[in-house]
Amino acid sequence: MLLLGLTGSIATGKSTVSSLLSKPPYSLPVIDADLIARRVVEPGTAGYNAIVKHFLSTTPDLLLPDATPKGRPLNRPALGRRVFGSGPERERDRKVLNSIVHPAVRQEMYKQMVWAYLRGSWAVVLDVPLLFESGWERYCGTILVVGVTDPKIQIQRLRARDEHLSEEDAVNRVKSQGDVREKAERCLRRGAGRGVVVWNDKGKEELERDIQRVMEGVRGASPWWWSTLLWASPPLAALAATISWWRMRKVQLAWEDEKKREKSKL
């Protein structure tokens, strides 16, 4: 089973692509890290309790006033203002939040991947906004980055979608997810067929055509007979996954080493 990593940055069109891939003619199972991240911090969960314990004293509006049977839900915009942006305090709080949410998200993603494999899916989409930053890239046979060439487009789309965000809030959220153009470069370093970039600067129709072209190539590189063989032989599937993981880990480490050398020269 192919792990197709889908990433980009906020307001670049990643969710639109995820929706396209979940419907015919693709009908792929989608593991949405953002959706899972919301579920693991719902009232009553261990993640919710940890967030409240750490952030409530410094974020008075952390909880919404309307209570559910399990407690008051998180005020996500307030939490976002607390952790997004620059500065040592926000960076520290963002790391704390990630340390609470990420392990729970990973556990649920692993469960859904196993279930997709058992159902015989030829591929599963891993919809992860911070795919590179969280280390998921080495697990993916192919990565698709959805980007825009100008950050101003992201900010305009984000504010149109989330009207409660100020200009500063929108800029901080875009910056917090890194430069999507760098993600595109990193993706293409994986090589032909293993890293694909779609630039979503125009309309939905052009995006749909680009996705159709990309998926024809992805499916051609993973024919039905190979997918069936991997499903029928778990040891072969494990071997193929290990070889892919090792190759992509080398690419990941080479990129990280290059960035470290660049920083050391500054």
Residue 266, pLDDT > 80, answer: no
Among the listed residues 131, 113, 122, the one whose alpha carbon sits nearest the alpha carbon of residue 230: 122
Range scoring the smallest mean pLDDT among 31-40, 168-177, 192-201: 168-177
Pair of tokens at residue 226 = 């190979």
Which amino acid, one-letter code, is at 187?
A: C
DSSP-derived pairing of the beta strands 2-8 and 123-127:
parallel
pLDDT for res 178: 79
pLDDT for res 145: 97
Residue 105, pLDDT > 80, answer: yes
pLDDT for res 265: 77
Among the listed residues 86, 80, 126, the one whose alpha carbon sits nearest the alpha carbon of residue 106: 126
Tens digits of per-residue pLDDT, 77-88? Answer: 889 888 887 788
Mean pLDDT along residues 153-176: 87
CA separation for the pair 163, 152 (Å, rounded): 16
pLDDT for res 246: 96
Domains of the chain: 1-29+122-266 (3.40.50.300), 41-118 (no CATH)
* Residue 198 CB-density burial (10 A; 0-12 exposed, 13-18 middle, 19+ buried): buried
Band (190; pLDDT cuts 50, 70, 90):
very high
